[in-house]
Structure 1
Amino acid sequence: MKTILKRYRAFIIVAVAILILTIFNFELGMKALNITAYSFKEMILVIPPVFVLLGLLDIWVPREIMIKYMGEGSGLKGILLSIFIGSAAAGPLYGAFPVAAVFMKKGVKFSNILIFIGAWSTTKIPMLLFEVTSLGMKFTVTRLLIDIPGIIIIAAILAKLVSKEEVKKIYQNAEKFDQ
C-alpha cells in the first residue's frame, strides 16, 4: 500500500488540490477539471500509436544500424538524421521521450538524442507549413536558420556539460524502460 501511495503521490496531491479548489471556487475548479480531462483524452489518443511505432522500431531496426547512422562515430550523418526524424515526427513533445529512450537502448549518441528532442520541439513539418501560411516564408526560413544551429550548439554544450557517469545513468534508466 505504501508503494502505491508513494508512486501516485503527485497524482493524489493534485487531485486533492483540485478538490479543495473546487470547494472554494466551483467555477475555477470545474475549469481545472475540464482542462485535466482534455489533456488526459489527448494523451490517450497520442500514447498508444507512439508505443506501437516504438515497438516496431525496436524490433525492425537492428542496434548495429542505429549505431552506424546515429551512434558515436556518425558525425554529420547522425546530426542530419536526428534533425530529420525529429522534424518528421507528429504529436506533442512528451511523445519524444519514449522514442529517445528506445534510441538510447539502440546506442544512439547522447548529443544526437538531444538534437532529436530539440528538432521535435521546434522544427516539425506541420508546424512549418502552418508558419509559412500564417507568418510567411521569410519568417519561417529565418526561424529555421536560427533554430537548427541553436539546437546543435545547445546539444553539443549539454553533451559536454553532463558528466559521462550521468549519461551512463541516463542510458541505464532507458534500459529499464522495457521492463
Structure 2
Amino acid sequence: MMKKIFKRYRVFGVILIINLILLIVKPSLGTSSLKGTGDNLKELIAIMPPIFLLMGLLDTWVQKETMIKFMGEGSGLKGILIAFLLGSFAAGPVYVAFPFAAILMKKGSKFFNILIFIGAWSATKIPISLFEASVMGWKFMLTRYAIDIPVIILIAYITDKIISPIEKETIYENIKNLE
C-alpha cells in the first residue's frame, strides 16, 4: 500500500526534494523555484476541477456507439473534422488535452483522430487565435493556420503509421486499465 502511494506521487516528491535542496544550496534560487512550483500548483488546482467535470459529462452523456460512429474507425473526413473542432474550441493548457484524449480513446475514437485532436488543441485553439489575430493581424493568423493544419495532419499520419497495431492496442488497454 505505502509503496503504491510513493510510486504514484514520486514526481511530486522529486520536485519537493529538488526545491528543498535549492533552498539550502542557493536560497534565492530555491525561493524562486518554490514560488514557481506553488504558482503552477495553484493553476493546476484552479483548472482541473472544471476539466474533470467536463470529462465526466463527456464520459456519461456521449455513448460509445455515438463516438465510434463520429470518430471511430471508418469515420473518415468527418472524424478528422470533429477532432479538429474539439481541439480548436478547447480551453486550457495542452496537458489538459491528454485526459480528454483518454476519454475519447475509451469511447472508441480512432488513434489517428486522437492525434489530430491533440495537435489541434496545441496549435489551433480559437480563443488564442482570436487574440493572436488582434495582436499580429488576421493575415499572420491565417498564414499560420495554412501551415499548421496540414502539418498537424502530416504528423498525425506519420505517427499513426509508425506506431504498430500492437503498440496502439497496448495504449488502448492502458486507458481501459485507468478506470
Coarse TM-score class (shorter-chain normalised): over 0.9
1:109 offset after TM fit, Å? 0.3
Q: Following superposition of structure 1 onto structure 2, how do residues 142-157 of structure 1 map, counting pairs within 5 Å?
A: 142-157=143-158
Q: CA deviation at 1:20?
A: 1.1
* CA distances 1:121-168 after superposition (whole Å, capped 9, x unpaired): 010011101110110111100000000111011001100000111100
Asked if 2 retains the 8 angstrom alpha-carbon contact of 1:72 and 1:109, the reply is yes
Unaligned runs of 5+ residues in structure 1 are none
Secondary structure of the residue aligned to 2:178 is: helix
The separation in 1 between residues aligned to 2:108 and 2:7, in whole angstroms, is: 32
TM superposition shift of 1:85: 0.5
CA distance in 2, matches of 1:118, 1:35: 27
Gaps of 5+ in 2: none
Per the alignment, residue 30 of structure 1 pairs with 31
In 2, distance between residues paired with 1:2 and 1:82? 39
- TM-score w.r.t. the length of structure 2 is 0.96
The alpha carbon displacement at 1:115 in A equals 0.3
Distance 2:43 2:8 in 1: 23
Aligned to 1:13: 14
Displacement of 1:4: 2.6
Q: What is the distance in 2 between the residues matched to 1:70 and 1:168?
A: 17
CA distance in 2, matches of 1:170, 1:29: 38
How far 1:59 sits from its partner (Å)? 1.1
Task: Give CA deviations for 1:50-106 in whole Å, capped at 9, x if unaligned.
Answer: 111111111111111111110110000000110000000000111111100000111
2:66 is matched with which residue?
65
SS of the counterpart of 1:73?
A: coil
2:54 paired with 1:53: yes
- How far apart, CA to CA, are the structure 2 residues paired with 1:100 and 1:161? 19
For 2:91, the equivalent position in structure 1 comes to: 90
Q: Distance in 2 between matches of 1:15 and 1:129?
A: 38
Deviation at 1:3, TM superposition (A): 3.0
> What is the number of equivalent residue pairs in this alignment?
178
Q: Calculate percent identity across the aligned residue pairs.
A: 56
Taking the aligned partners of 2:7 and 2:74, their CA distance within structure 1 comes to 42
Check if 1:167 corresponds to 2:133.
Answer: no
